[in-house]
A and B are shown apart, each in its own frame.
Chain A
Amino acid sequence: MIELSDVHKAFGNNRVLQGVNLTIASGTSMVIIGGSGTGKSVALKCILGLIRPDSGSITLDGLDVTKGDRDAFLARFGMLFQGGALFDSLPVWQNVAFRLLRGSLKRPMAEAREIAIEKLRRVGLKPDVADKFPAELSGGMQKRVGLARAIAAEPEIIFFDEPTTGLDPIMAGVINDLIREIVVEMGATAMTITHDMTSVRAIADNVAMLHDGVIKWTGPVDEMDASGDPYLDQFIHGRADGPIEAVR
């Protein structure tokens, strides 16, 4: 279980997180929604320790994420970045098998390559993609490679940062379905940040709405439409009028 308690983070005068409280139960898929610049990515990076919060606590299974063996902690996570964040200098299969080629999870090169090709197949890519470089792939293919990399070491927890941004609706649907299938199949805990409502309905067990640095509403995805929360209502219906200012 991941638990954020009263997490604050500011960049200079810009107070991004102002007391975030959120619980993500093991084996569930939580989607955090909110407008651009509301701190969704910052919250996610705080959990991973990429950004240190100013105050508050973040625990994973009751243990403070900032303490203990960092490598062992990160080995439990997989992450799909917004732009893919594939390493340009490495061929696709080495991107996917990156974690399996070094560190505590190191495997022989032939085995790592085999696993990479299997994961590529899992996300709908043919084996001939394995020896290409990321720059030779389309945006959708790069996202799939990023997804294959996120699941390569079979992590317990997977984070998805804006998984459908920049994709056409069909490819976005493919990625959403893949994410849902993989999370269910692996029994992983998933946390996704997005402002794509189609993704939310396809991926989420639970939803949390982040606005003004705090969680405005959280609950099961089935209850989202009847929440009665004015912030959530305005966001999911994409209305310009409401408590969320259109000009931010």
Chain B
Amino acid sequence: MTFFLGFLAGIGRYVLTALAAVGRIAIFASDTVSHLARPPFYAREFLHALIQIGWLSLPVVGMTALFTGGALALQIYAGGARFNAETVVPSIVAIGLTRELGPVLGGLMVAARVASSIAAEIGTMKVTEQIDALTTLSTNPMKYLTLPRVLAATLAVPVLVGVGDAIGIMGGFLVGVGRLDFGAATYLHNTIDFLETWDVLSGLIKGAVFGFIVALMGCYHGMNSGRGAQGVGRATKSAVVAASVLILASNYLLTELFFSA
């Protein structure tokens, strides 16, 4: 009986800790968003974040999309051959990339690159008292550090997803034409004919949500980093894990919302 009660208490403690963390993140997110309506705004920090998060993530997102598009074309061709449906390769590659793989893989790659870097940077600033220094210099750290990064990621990741979609489709095209003997014109024709605006748009909306999640997790874990190198390391790891899991979970919810019958 004592063991059973201890077991239940353990579950209760875990649930309460998890709920408290969700509450803290929700307050952090609402605090961040509320600064959108309250000047001053730090345009220079925003532009710097836009370059760091958007422009510098382009190579890794582009490479991911290119190889994924190519691999997808091979897989769909092999799978489609079982039903004599090889011709669906262009359209399935395009739909799969724009609706799912583009935003999800792009989001995960940005999470690995950006959430870790934000958490490490802000965590280091915290342990070296730079966050306290900002406050004593009459500068709100949420306004100066968090809002520019969250806003930049929310705007940059959809653009990255859009570019990634195009590169991924090109990857499929190169494999389709080069390895699977599709005609170039036919491949492009099938891609364009079957692709709907909503396929692309839904992926871009997902990208915006994933961008928000990535930067928010980076900033939250950085701001709450523990002391020393170990504390910053733990914050960095937590930021990447939390961002990745939240991207996958929110992807499911958004897919339900957008595409469930």
Task: Give A residues with C-beta under 8 Å from B.
Answer: 45, 48-50, 70-71, 74-75, 77-79, 81-83, 85-88, 98-99, 102-105, 149
Closest to B133 in A: A85
B residues near A102, Cβ cutoff 8 Å: 40, 42, 139
The reply on B137 being an interface residue by CB < 8 A is: yes
A81 touching B137 in the complex, CB below 8 Å, given contacts A102-B40, A102-B42, A103-B40: no
Report whether A103 and B138 are in contact in the complex, using a CB–CB cutoff of 8 Å.
yes
Chain A residues within an 8 Å CB radius of B133: 79, 81, 85-87
Residue of B nearest to A101 (CB): B44
CB pair A74 B135 closer than 8 Å: yes
Partner of A77, one of B40, B125, B128, B136: B136
Contact A74 B129 (CB under 8 A): no
B130 interfacial contact with A, CB 8 Å: yes
Any A CB within 8 A of the CB of B132: yes
Could you name 30 residue pairs across A and B whose Cβ atoms are closer than 8 Å? A45-B132, A48-B135, A48-B136, A49-B135, A50-B132, A50-B136, A70-B138, A71-B138, A74-B136, A74-B138, A75-B138, A79-B133, A79-B136, A83-B128, A83-B129, A85-B128, A85-B129, A85-B130, A85-B132, A85-B133, A87-B133, A88-B130, A98-B139, A99-B137, A102-B40, A102-B42, A103-B40, A103-B139, A105-B138, A149-B137
Set of chain B residues within 8 Å of A45, measured between Cβ atoms: 132
Nearest-neighbor residue (CB-CB) of B132 within chain A: A50
Q: Which residues of A contact B136 (CB under 8 A)?
A: 48, 50, 74, 77-79
Question: Main secondary structure on chain A at its contact with chain B?
Answer: mixed
Give the residues in chain B near A82, CB-CB below 8 Å.
129
Question: What's the minimum C-beta distance from B178 to chain A, rounded to whole angstroms?
Answer: 45
Query: Do B135 and A50 touch (CB < 8 A)?
Result: yes
Q: Whole-angstrom distance from the CB of B111 to the nearest CB of chain A? A: 22
Contact status A81-B129, CB under 8 Å: yes
- Please name the residue on chain B nearest to A100 by beta carbon: B137
Contacts of B128 in A (CB 8 A): 83, 85
Report the Cα distance A81→B138, complex, angstroms. Answer: 15
Minimum Cβ distance to chain B for residue A88 (Å): 8
Residues in chain B near residue A104, CB distance under 8 A: 138
The answer to whether A81 and B132 touch (CB under 8 A), given A102-B40, A102-B42, A103-B40, is yes
Minimum distance in angstroms from B227 CB to a CB of chain A: 12
Complex CA gap A75/B136 in Å reads: 8
Sorted nearest first, the 9 A-B pairs with minimum C-beta distance are A85-B133, A85-B129, A74-B138, A79-B136, A81-B129, A71-B138, A99-B137, A85-B130, A103-B138
